[in-house]
Structure 1
Amino acid sequence: MRFALSAEQTGFATSLGDLLSTLDTDAANRAWAAGDPAPGLKIWRRLADLGVTALAVPEAFGGLAAEVADLVVACEVLGEYCVPGPWTDTVAVAPALLGDERLTPLATGETLASVLFAPHVPYALDAEVAEIRLAVDGARLRSFTPGAALSSLDGSRRLSPGTPGADLGPAHDAGRAFELGVLATAAQLLGAGRWLLDASVTYAGQRRQYGREIGRYQAIKHLLADVVTALELARPLLYGAAVTMAPEDVSAAKVACGEAALLAARTGLQVHGAIGYTAEHPLGLRLARVRALVSAWGTAELHRRRVLETVAR
């Protein structure tokens, strides 16, 4: 059996990357953080036209009923280009929680979703722009009213507490919804790590010290090689988890992708030097996104514990 992405999946990733490379996602991020979601929502609609928002929605509600791996492919590209918005909640989690006509506007990209999933997702993401707000209460769903926005490591991830409201009926599959949220977050981390690696390699080939490009120094080569290794080891865990959807596999993928992305972030700062700390540089957006996503949808401690509990059985 050959465990590799199909030609259709790699082509889908290429199409998403080709589109996003023509759009100013960095400017959309900064606008989103400043309270102006309009540029980000324009990108959202462009991605919806390519089917991203319909991937996990059943065909009965206008979706594509795609494989989990297809969703992971899309989220990896979203992470690479640091696209703002509640993508995990809308394209991965909400379709697993809902099983009715509320999925139709999600599939078309007309509606965004924000999810509270206690205890591991205690704050709602971008609830002020989401028409569907879901708080998971055991096996039930409730609406919620977002409170005042909180400070966040990533200013474009606008977090807020939520006050539970009316009962919205049973959760369609809360367990699967949580695993998909974790997996989508891990995929975005891997994508961000890949961007950081590519940016670091490019900069190392341009920046000169002592009469030569810094990328020619052995110490820099070793740093970048370590990032390559970490990302390449994390990727099969991510796509393997997309096949099995076993909680321990999903958690292992989240930990591996998080560690690889953090290593890419640290190395990126070392390679770029002081310029990497500036708010104007695109590196800073990815550094903030990685730091925020590492603890989103469960901390590394939680996911290591889930893996350990499985191994110890």
Structure 2
Amino acid sequence: MDFQLSDDQRALRAGVRELLAGRFGRDRMRAALDAGTSIDRALWRELGEAGFFALRLPEAEGGVGLGLPESVLLFEEVGRSLLPGPLIATHLAAGPVKGAAQGEAVVAVLDPGQPVAHLGEADALLVLGPGGASRVSGGALRGAARLRDAADPVRSLDPFTPLWRIAGPVEAGEPLPGGERLRDEGALLAAAEQLGSAARTTEMAVQHAGTREQFGSPIGSFQAVKHLCAGMLVRTELARCAVYAAAVTADPVEIAGAKLLADEAAVRNARDCLQVHGGMGFTWESDVHLHLKRAWLRSGQWLTAAAAEEVLAGDLF
């Protein structure tokens, strides 16, 4: 059985990378960071026009008609670029939530007991529950706008991800079709973002190790730095195998394992990348700390390590 990417999948990944590099390259990313902008509505609509959110909708419904493996490739590129916003929830809500597929609506995710990211910009909410998922739109009895009035901002690790905490219970909205699968699919797409971040910090570390000199030699020639970079590559490729396999099977147990491996790869690779960069890596001008903060935050979203371990333990016993 051939598990290599097809030519169409490679072209899809390359196209998304080119789009994000042109519309959210480092200069624009830094400008958005300095301006405190977490969601660019123009870019959101451009992603919608490119089929980013409607990728898995049937062609008869105006979508692209592709599957979960292709979505994983898209979100891997998102993780590389540090593109902010509730892209996963909007992608999953395309179709049921009006305007989500076209990038006209921003859909945030509400996981009871957890802070809500990007609530201030949300037009609708994807509410996760034990029995599935439902939506709370702007026109609902307790719509997104009303929830914002009852929520308090929470200090976030990631400067690109504003957080809000909602006091009290949230009334369930209209159940979404296939809602029992949305948490698992969201966890897999979050793992794909972590994979992209892990791959990017590996590249950053190797590039810096090859150009930074100490004692007259590139620091990449030193054994300790070689070991750090090699460990980063191993973690990335292990996570890649798990994420890609889970995208094919869509098995909740494999998704749990993929999320665990991808979370570890993203967080530990960012930390090791900081070590390779030395004191420079801890400065605001470096992008390494942004990957670390996003990886820390993302590891607690959709499926935490404790919840993933429970899934794996339940499968074993």
Structure-1-length-normalised TM-score: 0.89
Distance 2:291 2:58 in 1: 32
Distance 2:25 2:44 in 1: 11
The CA deviation string for residues 160-187 of structure 1, in whole angstroms up to 9 with x for no partner, is: 1236666532232222100111011100
Give 3-state SS (helix, strand or coil) of 2:125's partner. Answer: strand
2:195–2:265 contact (8 Å) kept in structure 1:
yes
* Partner of residue 73, structure 2: 73
Matched residue pairs, number?
303
Distance 1:106 1:141 in 2: 15
* Partner of residue 258, structure 1: 263
Give 3-state SS (helix, strand or coil) of 2:23's partner. Answer: coil
AA partner of residue 71 (structure 2): L
The CA deviation string for residues 195-218 of structure 1, in whole angstroms up to 9 with x for no partner, is: 101011111111110000001112
Structure 2: gaps spanning 5 or more residues: 137-143
* Identity %, equivalent residues: 32
Distance 2:266 2:122 in 1: 28
Distance 2:304 2:171 in 1: 29
User: 1:220-259, aligned counterparts within 5 Å?
Assistant: 220-259=225-264
Give 3-state SS (helix, strand or coil) of 1:155's partner. Answer: coil
* Partner of residue 299, structure 1: 304
More deviation, 256-265/194-203 = 256-265
Cα displacement (A) at 1:13: 0.7
Give 3-state SS (helix, strand or coil) of 2:134's partner. Answer: strand
AA partner of residue 170 (structure 1): P
- Please tell me whether residue 150 in structure 1 is matched to residue 150 in structure 2: no
AA partner of residue 134 (structure 2): L
Structure-2-length-normalised TM-score: 0.88
2:133–2:180 contact (8 Å) kept in structure 1:
no
1:227–1:260 contact (8 Å) kept in structure 2:
yes
- Please tell me whether residue 275 in structure 1 is matched to residue 280 in structure 2: yes
* Partner of residue 127, structure 1: 119
1:76–1:188 contact (8 Å) kept in structure 2:
yes
User: 1:142-221, aligned counterparts within 5 Å?
Assistant: 143=136, 144=144, 145-146=147-148, 147-162=151-166, 168-221=173-226
Cα displacement (A) at 1:154: 0.8
Cα displacement (A) at 1:35: 4.3
Q: 1:29 to 1:157 in 2, by over 3 A?
A: farther
Distance 1:126 1:214 in 2: 40
Distance 2:253 2:200 in 1: 27
1:33–1:158 contact (8 Å) kept in structure 2:
no
Give 3-state SS (helix, strand or coil) of 1:148's partner. Answer: strand
Structure 1: gaps spanning 5 or more residues: none
* Partner of residue 32, structure 2: 31
Quote the RMSD (CA, aligned, Å). 2.2
* Partner of residue 83, structure 2: 83
* Partner of residue 141, structure 1: 134
Give 3-state SS (helix, strand or coil) of 2:109's partner. Answer: strand
Cα displacement (A) at 1:112: 1.2
- Please tell me whether residue 107 in structure 1 is matched to residue 104 in structure 2: no
AA partner of residue 239 (structure 2): A
* Partner of residue 20, structure 1: 20
Cα displacement (A) at 1:189: 0.4
